[in-house]
Chains A and B, each alone.
Chain A
Amino acid sequence: MFRLSYVLRVAVAVVVAIAGVAMVRGRGVGGEARASSVARTTMEKLGYRPLGDPTAVFEGDQELAWALERARPGPSGVGLARGEGGALRWRVVFPGGGEVQVTVDGLVWSLRRPVPSAPGPDLFPSLARARVEAAVAAAVTDPAEWHLVRAQSWREGGHTWERAWYVGGAGPLPSGWRRELELEMAGSTVVSWRRSVHPLGTDLGVVTGRMAELRTLRRPAMLGLAILVIGVLVAGAEAVAYRESLAPVRGIAYGLVTAFAGSFAADTLTSAPVQGVVLALVVAVLPVWTELPTSRLHLGAAAGVALAGVTIAGRAIILGMGGWAPVTSPVPADMSAGRLLAESWAPALVEEPLLRGALPALAAPVVGWWGAALLAAPIGALLHPVPSVPVLASIGLELVLQAGLAVVARYAGIGGAVLARGTCEALVRRASFPAGTEWDRFALLGVAVGTVLLLWPRRRE
């Protein structure tokens, strides 16, 4: 019997590992190497040979990308966000001077080269126009669509500078959108250009409106968490009054880890210490609630992989049913391993002990464990949904995730829920970060821990 159970665990570990790797493989923002090569080639075409190996930083315009996806549903919208829409770009900076923005699909979005000491002879306006048009033809894929709307020229630093503004209509972008290009020449050398996109207000509004609505809906969830923290405070005071056994050392350690993780996450820099203190209190009080299920960490990662699969499939289902859910992942504030780990694990460390530990423990005497778990689900569902059309679709998807975490907490305890949530978040958020195996490793941290725990031989009971 024991041997059969271990064989089952090995089988689960193998499935979890394969599923985890399959989920991160090929995901992530690509095009970094191509961006560097395109940037160098473009600079060389302009007669400037950049020195040194460039550094590439990913930049994204979140609202623009999602507005394009919303306006042009399906793969074409995603393609526009990565290409002609210019929503997802690599900023390539050469150490010897020169900077180019290249879209993920390899389109040069903006360029700035050092002004040469001898930029060529100053041009008469008529000659300058021909030169500018030739430069524009090299900068865009459909030059016939573009026309000059304004030009300017001035003397500076002993050279004549020319600046021209072009408008390219909608082109491949959705109807009502507008493309613009601003180009500068010093003497007879093109020194910079920059493209921009003006979205149709209503297309952008659908996305920004949904984001504002979700921010509004997040407030009651935060209020719920605040009330929950008050309940934990009262429970802690009672525990001290009745001299019940607490876990202060474990609480302090957990609080420090939470504060450390939160300090790397996007919007929690100031609140990280507060979260650390609150979570220290919650974890210290947990032993008082003896009816909480025991933690079984080895089940957590497997559940996390399953929940990540549900989340990814859920967005596809929303799209398939005619709704809209963003394909492009949320753009992180910066690209670092610390950010990936913090954004994945900070919500797990902060929210799971509260929603799957404190709330069920406090409310279970009144509404039962499952009733309390169902109370926690809507609160958790309102904390992090991404915009969708209809807006209730993404909240519903989050609700499914929260219900899944409640089930995990019931059978694997709070520790299992933390591991499941962290693993799930890391696998889902993997797509926001650059492609590459080193990033995959960070995303698979929870899966690796779960696999080791599953394979770890346990004592015969």
Chain B
Amino acid sequence: MTVFPECPLPLDEYPRVLLAHGGGGRLTQSLIERVLLPSFDNPYLAPLHDGALLEIGGQRLALSTDSYVVQPLFFPGGDIGRLAIFGTANDLAMCGARPLFLSCGLIIEEGFAMADLWRVVVSLKEAAKEAGVQIVTGDSKVVERGKGDGVFINTAGIGVVLAGADVGPQRVRPGDEIVLSGSLGRHGIAIMALREGLDLDVAIQSDSAPLFPMVEALAEDGIDLHMLRDPTRGGVSSALNEIAKKSGAGIVIEEERIAVGPGVQGVCEILGLDPLYVANEGNFLAFVPAGRGERAVDVLRRHACGKEAAVIGRAVAEHGGTVVMRTRIGGERIVDVMSGEQLPRIC
């Protein structure tokens, strides 16, 4: 007889899974920390990085996986295929690793248009080429009509950690400068605007893009990358809060230095969203040693996706575990982890 231990998330709190459990905010965190992590507990999983760091035969590897359920499947600036490749490749890049090989699993709904499936497959192929990865194994399943939503994709990837790279929250030190490689919120708002049928003068394009080339450029310039994180679900606020919590450092950011495009800003104002909480798929946060931030910005700005790079703040010894923002009018406030979900199924 199998004995099921009691679920560590008390059922009186949440007898059923809510969409917010997948939103990248506080409930996602509690699902991971209270249900998943203790169940699979091991030293590779414990750091809860974007990917696991493994050493096999003296070679340092990164392994990561992600599932993609974005709706709609095609959107300005990208589609589920590009997300599925870049998302996993970027998780490896955030481990300081060069992405090499990906697996790809397709869960297809009965009745899904073959032309659309082909569009997704072509997109996967082209994105893989762009990201410099190969899809080396895969799987496909078909589920009954109504049991899927067009197509869901899972990818897993392996990469080789760059020589000398040592990326992780434990390396964050007070004084570290925080570089953001691009402007905020383009992916989340591109999807949101499409779903809400907002008629914009200029369509906002998702920023979906491979990040490894920028990471590699920083490393090749000799910049010691203490911590990397791509602010996807939950946005910059969730990414920074997680880093603050895991590193024990405090974080201060300057509102004025954070780039937000006028289109994203406008939609956020209309819909009552905060760009700090909106998902990105083509920028990242880098913690670099004190005094190296501006150099990192120079390096990033040579890349097409890094034109808006800026030093947005720093790690501090005070208020450990908390992110504080200096507002543009000179006030201060906390930047909290997102509660609930801002928008489901954006990736």
A binds B: no
